[in-house]
Amino acid sequence: MAIPARRTRLARVGATVTVVAALFTSLLTGVADAHGSTTDPPSRNYGCWQRWGSDFQNPTMAQQDPMCWQAWQADTNAMWNWNGLYRENVAGNHQGVIPNGQLCSGGRTGGMRYAALDNPGQWKAATKSRQFTLTVTDQARHGADYLRVYVTRQGFDPTTQQLGWGNLELVATTGRYAPAGTYQVAVNAGSRTGRHVVYVIWQASHMDQSYYFCSDVIFQ
Ligand SMILES: [Cu+2]
> Domain containing 198 — which CATH number?
2.70.50.50
Q: DSSP letters along 71-133, please?
A: HHHH-THHHHTTT--EEE--TT-HHHHS-TT-GGGTTTTTTTTTGGGG--S----EEE-SEEE
- Same-domain pairing of 25 and 66: no
- Same-domain pairing of 70 and 137: yes
- Same-domain pairing of 50 and 149: yes
pLDDT in tens, 106-142: 999 999 999 999 999 999 999 999 999 999 999 999 9
Is 10 a residue whose pLDDT tops 70? no
Characterize the bridge pairing of strands 86-88 and 209-219: antiparallel
Per-residue pLDDT, averaged over 166-188, amounts to: 98
Q: DSSP letters along 57-82, please?
A: T-TTHHHHSHHHHHHHHH-THHHHTT
The neighbourhood of ligand 1, an ion, using CB within 5 A, equals 35, 140
Q: What is the pLDDT of residue 153?
A: 98
Task: Label residue 154 left, alpha or beta by phi (over 0 means left) and psi (-120 to 50 means alpha).
Answer: beta
- Same-domain pairing of 17 and 45: no
Report how far ligand 1's centroid is from the alpha carbon of 57 (Å).
28
- Between CA 207 and CA 71 the distance in angstroms is 29
- Is the preceding omega at residue 59 within 30 degrees of 0, hence cis? no
Q: Which residues pair with 172 in a beta bridge?
A: 149
Q: What is the pLDDT of residue 33?
A: 61
Report how far ligand 1's centroid is from the alpha carbon of 15 (Å).
32
Characterize the bridge pairing of strands 131-138 and 86-88: unpaired
Asked whether 43 and 213 are in contact (CB, 8 A), the reply is: yes
pLDDT band at 24 (very low <50, low <70, confident <90, very high): very low
Average pLDDT of the chain is 90
Is 93 a residue whose pLDDT tops 90? yes
Q: What is the pLDDT of residue 32?
A: 46
Per-residue pLDDT, averaged over 87-94, amounts to: 98
* Better-scored residue on pLDDT, 10 or 127: 127
Report how far ligand 1's centroid is from the alpha carbon of 177 (Å).
15
- Same-domain pairing of 44 and 24: no
Report how far ligand 1's centroid is from the alpha carbon of 75 (Å).
21
pLDDT in tens, 30-83: 444 679 999 999 999 999 999 999 999 999 999 999 999 999 999 999 999 999
DSSP class of 180: -
**pTM for the structure as a whole:** 0.86
Give the residue numbers spanning the domain of 16. Answer: 1-33
Report how far ligand 1's centroid is from the alpha carbon of 33 (Å).
7
- Same-domain pairing of 107 and 5: no
Report how far ligand 1's centroid is from the alpha carbon of 142 (Å).
7
Q: What is the pLDDT of residue 34?
A: 79
- Between CA 85 and CA 77 the distance in angstroms is 11
Q: What is the pLDDT of residue 12?
A: 53
Asked whether 96 and 210 are in contact (CB, 8 A), the reply is: no
